């Protein structure tokens, strides 16, 4: 397990907060604040990845009283060898001297659990000693990479439909793509003004209008239910940032919410699309 946190090329931030990273071989991983580990180069979620804990790393003894764990026994030798991970135990625990120069530290279980996650370290099936786990993790990664490409190409198709809207009829576009005319209408912007709302904008605004969503990840996944497309995280974050800059969406303690301007824009765009559908039927 690689413990280094040296960045290969660039630094990663969530707002003002620097994200944890780790490197295994030639692969760099990034941890989002919600605990999700991703590949740094594609931002795809690492299959089955989770944080590495101090309990897994050092396998300490536990003191049980009245049917529950009360303290963790941390080896003095481990503290001496890994002070960057365990020196804090000396500050919050009780030192118990052993024979000669050996000692142990009794740490309250509450304090241990608060600090149990090892920064910039994860456990992932692709690093497992089990060949079956490694193979499944690899094919799952390939699947997610292919899905990301599909999402990107789907977005590109919508862009081409919009760019060529004056050069090809809706009927012909529907025949080429096997989409319904109504769906083609939805993908094409009738106005090239940047202030228009596309499918991803509508999914974000529609999701936030329904309920406050606290994290970008949760908003991304909920929006994908609206569009049927899981947009790449970099694309989604950029779009969300643009909506915030336009003051259509804002972040509060309760989560992402619509501004009055965002509500009005959502209502207006929905009405415009209903008009297009009625024209298509006629």
Q: In this predicted structure, which of 58-72, 83-97, 240-254 has the lowest mean pLDDT?
A: 240-254
For residue 8, with 0-12 CB atoms within 10 Å meaning exposed, 13-18 middle and 19 or more buried, which class applies? exposed
- Residue 41: CB atoms within 10 A of its CB come to 12
Q: Is 20 within the bounds of a domain?
A: no
CA distance 248 to 228: 23
Looking at residue 190, its pLDDT comes to 42
So what's the pLDDT on residue 189?
59
Could you count the other beta carbons within 10 Å of the beta carbon of residue 100? 6
pLDDT of residue 202: 87
| Pairwise pLDDT comparison (229 vs 114), residue with the higher score | 114
Domain CATH code at residue 212:
1.10.10.10
Reported confidence tier of residue 188, pLDDT bands at 50, 70, 90: confident
**What is the rounded radius of gyration, in angstroms, for the C-alpha atoms of the chain?**
26
Asked if 215 and 258 sit in the same domain, the reply is yes
Q: Are residues 96 and 133 in the same domain?
A: no
pTM of the prediction?
0.59
Residue from 145, 84, 75 nearest 107 by CA: 75
The pLDDT of 233-249, averaged and rounded, is 84
Least confident stretch, 141-155, 193-207, 235-249? 193-207
Q: Do residues 203 and 166 share a domain? A: no
Average pLDDT (161-174) is 88
pLDDT at 41: 86
Residue pair 240/219 in contact by the 8 Å Cβ criterion:
yes
Residue of higher predicted confidence among 277 and 88: 88
More confident residue, 197 or 90: 90
Of 186 and 32, the one with more pLDDT: 32
DSSP for residue 164: T
Q: Which whole-number Å values give the CA distances from 242 to 17, 35, 43, 142, 239, in the listed order?
A: 20, 25, 20, 31, 5
Going from the C-alpha of 96 to that of each of 3, 75, 88, 90, 103, the distances in angstroms are 29, 10, 15, 11, 6
For residues 149 and 226, membership in a common domain is answered with: no
Asked if 153 and 130 sit in the same domain, the reply is yes
Residues 172 and 248 in one domain: no
Calculate what percentage of the chain has a pLDDT beyond 70.
Answer: 88
pLDDT for residue 174 is more than 70: yes
Is residue 2 situated within a structural domain?
A: no
For residue 254, tell me if it sits in a domain. yes
Q: What is the total count of domains within the chain?
A: 3
pLDDT beyond 50 at 69: yes
Range scoring the smallest mean pLDDT among 105-109, 160-164, 251-255: 251-255
Domain that holds residue 172: 126-188
pLDDT bin (cut points 50, 70, 90) of residue 276 is low
Region 14-31: mean pLDDT is 81
How far apart, in whole angstroms, are the C-alpha atoms of residue 211 and residue 167?
40
Q: What confidence tens digit (pLDDT) does each residue in 190-217 have?
A: 444 445 677 888 889 988 888 778 888 8
Q: Quick check: 52 and 118 in contact, CB under 8 A?
A: yes
Cβ proximity of 71 and 63 under 8 Å: yes
At residue 49, the pLDDT reads: 96
% of residues, the chain, pLDDT over 90: 38
pLDDT value at residue 1 = 37
What is the reported pLDDT for 14? 54
Query: What pLDDT, on a 0 to 100 scale, did the predictor assign at position 13?
Result: 58
Q: Is the pLDDT of residue 5 over 60?
A: no
């Amino acid at each position: 397990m690689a413990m280094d946190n040296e960045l290969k090329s660039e630094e990663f931030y969530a707002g003002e907060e620097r994200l944890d990273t780790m490197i295994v071989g030639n692969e760099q991983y990034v941890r989002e604040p919600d605990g999700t580990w991703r590949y740094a180069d594609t931002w795809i979620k690492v299959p089955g990845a989770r944080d590495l804990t101090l309990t897994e790393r050092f396998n300490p003894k536990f003191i049980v009283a009245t049917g529950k764990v009360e303290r963790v026994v941390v080896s003095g030798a481990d503290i001496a060898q890994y002070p960057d991970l365990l020196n804090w135990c000396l500050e919050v625990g009780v030192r118990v001297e052993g024979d000669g120069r050996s000692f142990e530290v009794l740490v309250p279980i509450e304090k241990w659990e608060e600090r149990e996650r090892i920064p910039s370290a994860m456990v992932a099936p692709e690093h497992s000693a089990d060949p079956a786990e490694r193979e499944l993790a690899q094919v799952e990664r390939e699947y997610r990479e292919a899905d990301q490409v599909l999402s990107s190409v789907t977005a590109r198709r919508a862009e081409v439909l919009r760019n060529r809207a004056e050069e090809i009829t809706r009927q012909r576009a529907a025949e080429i793509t096997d989409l319904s005319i109504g769906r083609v209408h939805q993908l094409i912007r009738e106005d090239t003004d940047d202030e228009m709302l596309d499918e991803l904008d509508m999914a974000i605004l529609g999701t936030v209008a329904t309920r406050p969503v606290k994290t970008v990840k949760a908003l991304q996944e909920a929006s994908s239910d609206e569009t049927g497309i899981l947009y790449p995280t970099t694309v989604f974050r950029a779009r969300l940032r643009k909506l915030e800059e336009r003051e259509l969406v804002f972040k509060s303690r309760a989560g992402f919410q619509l501004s009055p301007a965002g509500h009005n824009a959502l209502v207006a765009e929905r009405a415009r699309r209903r008009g297009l559908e009625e024209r298509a039927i006629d």
